[in-house]
Structure 1
Amino acid sequence: MKTTLTVLLIIQLYGLASCAIKQHYFIDQMKTWNEAQQYCRTNYHDLSTFIDEIEEQQFLQEAVSQTSDAWIGLNKESGTWMWATGEVTTRISWDNGEPDNHFCAYLHKDKKKLHDGGCTDTCTFFCMTVIVNTVMVQQSESWEGALEYCRHHHDDLASLSSSRSMTDALSKITGAQTQYVWIGLRFLAGGWFWISGDDLILNVWSSAGPPQCPAQNQRCAALDKNTQTWTPRDCEEKLNFLCF
Structure 2
Amino acid sequence: MDLGLNGRTAMVAAATSGIGLAVARRLVAEGATVSICGRDPDRLDEAVRLLTQQAHGAVHGTALDVTDHAAVRTWVDEVAATYGGPHVVVANAGSPPEGGAERFDVADYRAALELNLLSAVTLTRTALPHMRAAGYGRILFITSLAARQPIAGLALSNTVRPAVLGYAKSLVQELAEAGEGSVTVNVIAPGMTRTPTLQAWAEQLDGGLAALSADIPLGRLAEPDEIGAAAAYLASALAGSTTGVVLPVDGGAGRSLL
TM-score, length of structure 2 as denominator length: 0.26
Bigger proportion of residues as helix: 2
By relative contact order (CA 8 Å, sep 6+), the higher-ranking structure is: 1
